[in-house]
């Protein structure tokens, strides 16, 4: 018998009643508990995670359906969001919903182990893959920007990138500072969305942190969710706080309201050189994601609306100035790296010819993990009960007692991470580990140790799911940085393997024209069907990372291919 959770018939709540309760724009709320509203848990999982992306605890701007990353949306219009909800509530187990750049466009006949939702976002024929063409289509209501996990319904708030950021900072510490970031100052720009993970990741890694953002509301949100310790509008106060903490070896985080370029310029004038320097402003979108130097937020909004091309040019020049200061601090000794927002490319367009003398974070710190099939494994408790996440944390610690790095991470996360929306967790796991974890989670559901099914997904930033020459695939050993066959193969492998929903996007992380990437989510509902799908998908997904890097000539990946029987 595969029935594992109590469920009410879908007919007990009408579609209209459900929408009024959970999806009455702009107020979106994911249902919680074991009760079923859709016709099956596969559709219910997609429904809950779609609404979780848009709930005010998670989304940057529910009014505009923006989840994170400037204009990264979960649906194209409020009408499209409503229609997605209606269709998910009524979708059968032998149907799959098609979503084209945030708009539901049809259903196709499939089967019970096929994905319930097939999503494509922001994809353009290469010759037309520019921000200008995309923005023209967007203004006409023909497209939306899906970012990475915004349009694939598996964004889990700032925690979603937290461990990846922590792993990056920790790797920087291992390579440059003998594994000890105490008495080290880390400076960065951007505390919205993905950048908001930086302060907590830095302090968890042991560093003293200063983050700068022009928008005070973004900093306040990090305070409210306990990702940040202190906030100030005063540069001098910020410097006193972080320099005193650095001297004492205290891992505190300070958010400073200001322009990151101005702050770096002042640091140079004051002779203050951070130990580590990076940036996570939304520079991937020069019009909607970056505020030009010298503009208030309101002045920037007005210019963005009245003259977007002039705005873009001012952004590019500001990025060139910003990167120029980063380069000077690098020359003075800061360990400086690009954190994947395409800042270097736009700075070069704005007039900084040496922008790419700053290296990217993937070739510097993350590629060895990718060669092991490791990446950002994440899961959500559809019950809405934080206790279910505690149960999964403890179960993973028992499953992998030798993985002390993972156990340390989970214990810190239990203590320090505040949930946003449905309780979720992220934990970097590699080839072999992901499949074991997925089957374990399914058993927890089957045995009633958690109160409702769990969904397992990941960031698109993973070992084998992205082609992004200025980020995930920068500096590949064989020069295959721009080959995007790999994310397409990842998409097809996870679709045929039985993921619960899949997605293929263009432009996430670094902007239109610069990346293509695939996402997947798979359900653990305690059924035998889920066991089969979990086993296939959580094998295939990290295997693509090993295949991709082994093919590029990385010896570690080739060794892992042999270890896991992936050689052909």
> Residue 158 pLDDT > 90, yes or no?
no
More confident residue, 192 or 516: 516
Classified as helix, coil or strand, 253 is strand
Residue 192: the pLDDT is 87
Q: Please give the annotated binding residues for NAD(+), written as ranges.
A: 69-70, 147, 193-195, 213, 218, 280-284, 290-291, 339, 509
Q: How many CB atoms lie within 10 A of CB 393?
A: 18
CA distance 367 to 478: 14
Whole-model pTM: value is 0.90
Give me the mean pLDDT over the 60-80 stretch.
95
- Checking if the pLDDT of 565 tops 90, the result is yes
| pLDDT of 2 strictly over 70 | no
In angstroms, the CA 509 to CA 147 distance is 6
- Which member of 172, 427, 463, 533 is catalytic? 427
Task: For the chain, give the mean pLDDT.
Answer: 95
Does position 52 have pLDDT exceeding 90, yes or no? yes
Which residue from 163, 151, 158, 122 is spatially nearest to 46, judged by alpha carbons?
A: 151
Task: Give residues with Cβ within 8 angstroms of 187, minimum separation 6.
Answer: 209, 210, 211, 212, 263, 264, 267, 274, 276, 277, 334
Q: Read off the pLDDT of each residue in 350-355 and give the average, rounded to a whole number.
A: 98
Band of the pLDDT at 70, cuts 50, 70, 90?
A: confident
* pLDDT for 360: 94
| CATH 3.40.1770.10 placement within the chain | 373-563
Does the pLDDT at position 194 exceed 90?
A: no
Q: Which H or E run includes 408?
A: helix 404-416
CA distance 447 to 343: 48
Domain 159-365 is found in CATH 3.40.50.10730:
yes
Average pLDDT over every residue of 363-382: 95
State the pLDDT at residue 9. 47
- pLDDT tens track for 504-554: 999 998 999 999 999 999 999 999 999 999 999 999 999 999 999 999 999
Task: Give ranges for CATH 3.40.50.10730 in the chain.
Answer: 159-365
CA 401, distance to chain mean position in Å, is 27
Q: Are 17 and 37 in contact (CB under 8 A)?
A: no
**In the predicted structure, residue 185 carries a pLDDT above the cut 50:** yes
Q: What is the pLDDT of residue 5?
A: 47
pLDDT average, residue stretch 18-33: 98
235-244 confidence digits (pLDDT tens): 999 999 999 9
CA quadruple 396, 400, 402, 406: dihedral, nearest 10: -40
Q: CB–CB of 189/280 below 8 Å? A: yes
d(CA 238, CA 328): 21
Average pLDDT over residues 162-177: 93
Average pLDDT of span 18-42: 97
User: What's the length of the chain?
Assistant: 568
Does 426 have pLDDT greater than 50?
yes
DSSP character at residue 153: T
What does the DSSP 8-state code read for residue 341? S
Residue recorded with tokens 């799959």: 96
8 has pLDDT over 90: no
Beta carbons within 8 Å of 190's beta carbon, 6+ residues apart: 198, 211, 212, 213, 260, 279, 280, 281, 282, 341
In CATH terms, the fold of domain 373-563 is: Urocanase fold (3.40.1770)
Residues 198-220: tens digit of each pLDDT:
999 999 999 999 999 999 999 99
Tens digits of residue pLDDT in 216-235: 999 999 999 889 999 999 99
List binding-site positions.
69-70, 147, 193-195, 213, 218, 280-284, 290-291, 339, 509
Under the banding of pLDDT at 50, 70 and 90, the label for residue 383 is very high
Q: Is the confidence at residue 1, as pLDDT, over 70?
A: no
371 catalytic? Reply is no
Q: How far apart are CA 3 and CA 394, in angstroms?
A: 25
CB atoms closer than 10 angstroms to residue 305: 9
Which whole-number Å values give the CA distances from 531 to 281, 391, 430, 472, 493, in the listed order?
Answer: 40, 19, 19, 30, 17
Q: Which residue has the higher pLDDT, 264 or 161?
A: 264
Distance CA 122, CA 147 (A): 9
Region 117-139 average pLDDT: 97
408's tokens = 């340390």
| Sign of the Cα pseudo-torsion (538, 539, 543, 544, in order) | negative
Q: Convert the pLDDT of each residue in 439-494 to its tens digit.
A: 999 999 999 999 999 999 999 999 999 999 999 999 999 999 999 999 999 999 99
How far is the C-alpha of 450 from the C-alpha of 435, rounded, in Å?
A: 19
d(CA 411, CA 270): 39
206, 196, 486, 43: CA torsion to nearest 10: 120
Which stretches within 66-197 are classed as H helix?
Answer: 78-90, 131-139, 159-176
Q: What percent of the chain has pLDDT over 70?
A: 98
- Whole-angstrom distance, CA of residue 128 vs CA of residue 137: 11
Q: Provide the pLDDT for residue 6.
A: 45
């Amino acid at each position: 018998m595969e029935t594992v959770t109590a469920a009410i018939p879908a007919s007990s709540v009408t579609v209209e009643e459900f929408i009024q309760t959970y999806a009455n724009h702009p107020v979106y709320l994911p249902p919680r508990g074991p009760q079923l509203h859709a016709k099956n848990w596969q559709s219910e999982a997609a429904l809950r995670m779609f609404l979780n992306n848009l709930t005010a605890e998670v989304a940057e701007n529910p009014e505009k359906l923006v989840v994170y990353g400037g204009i990264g949306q979960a649906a194209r219009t409020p009408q499209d969001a409503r229609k997605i909800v209606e269709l998910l509530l009524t979708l059968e187990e032998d149907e799959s919903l098609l979503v084209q750049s945030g708009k539901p466009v049809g259903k196709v006949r499939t089967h019970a182990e096929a994905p319930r939702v097939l999503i494509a976002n922001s994809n353009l024929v290469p010759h037309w893959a520019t921000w200008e063409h995309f923005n023209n289509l967007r203004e006409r209501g023909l497209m939306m920007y899906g970012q990475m996990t915004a349009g694939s319904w598996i964004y889990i708030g700032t925690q979603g990138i937290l461990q990846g950021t922590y792993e990056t900072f920790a790797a920087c510490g291992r390579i440059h500072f003998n594994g000890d970031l105490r008495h080290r100052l880390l400076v960065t720009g951007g505390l919205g969305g993905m950048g908001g993970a930086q302060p907590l990741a830095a302090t968890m890694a042991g560093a003293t942190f200063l983050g700068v953002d022009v928008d005070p509301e973004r900093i306040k949100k990090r305070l409210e969710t306990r990702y940040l310790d202190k906030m100030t509008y005063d540069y001098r106060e910020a410097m006193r706080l972080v320099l005193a903490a650095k001297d004492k070896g205290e891992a505190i985080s300070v958010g400073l309201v200001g322009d990151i370029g101005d702050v770096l310029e002042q640091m140079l004038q004051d002779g203050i050189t951070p130990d580590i320097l990076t940036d996570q402003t939304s520079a991937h979108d020069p019009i909607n994601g970056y505020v030009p130097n010298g503009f208030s937020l309101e002045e920037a909004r007005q210019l963005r609306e009245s003259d977007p091309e002039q705005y873009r040019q001012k952004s590019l020049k500001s990025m060139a100035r910003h990167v120029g200061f980063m380069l000077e601090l690098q020359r003075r000794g800061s360990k400086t790296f690009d954190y994947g927002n395409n800042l270097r490319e736009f700075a070069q367009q704005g007039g900084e010819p040496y922008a790419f003398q700053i290296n990217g974070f993937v070739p510097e710190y993350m590629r060895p993990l990718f060669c092991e099939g490791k990446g950002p494994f994440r899961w959500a408790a559809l019950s809405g009960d934080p206790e279910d996440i505690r149960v999964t944390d403890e179960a993973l610690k028992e499953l992998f007692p030798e993985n002390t790095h993972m156990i340390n991470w989970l214990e810190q996360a239990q203590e320090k991470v505040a949930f946003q929306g449905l309780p979720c967790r992220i934990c970097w796991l590699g080839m072999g580990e992901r499949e074991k974890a997925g089957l374990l989670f399914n058993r927890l559901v089957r045995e009633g140790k958690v109160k409702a099914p769990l969904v397992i997904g990941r960031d698109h930033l993973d070992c084998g799911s992205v082609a992004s020459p200025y980020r995930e695939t920068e500096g590949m050993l064989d020069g295959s940085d721009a080959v995007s066959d790999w994310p397409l193969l990842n998409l097809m492998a996870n679709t045929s393997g039985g993921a619960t929903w899949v997605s293929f996007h263009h432009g996430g992380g670094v902007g239109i024209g610069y990346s293509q990437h695939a996402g997947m989510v798979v359900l653990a509902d305690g059924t035998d069907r889920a066991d089969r799908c979990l086993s296939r998908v959580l094998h295939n997904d990290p295997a693509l990372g090993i295949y991709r890097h082994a093919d590029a000539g990385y010896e570690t990946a080739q060794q892992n291919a042999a270890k896991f029987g992936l050689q052909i």
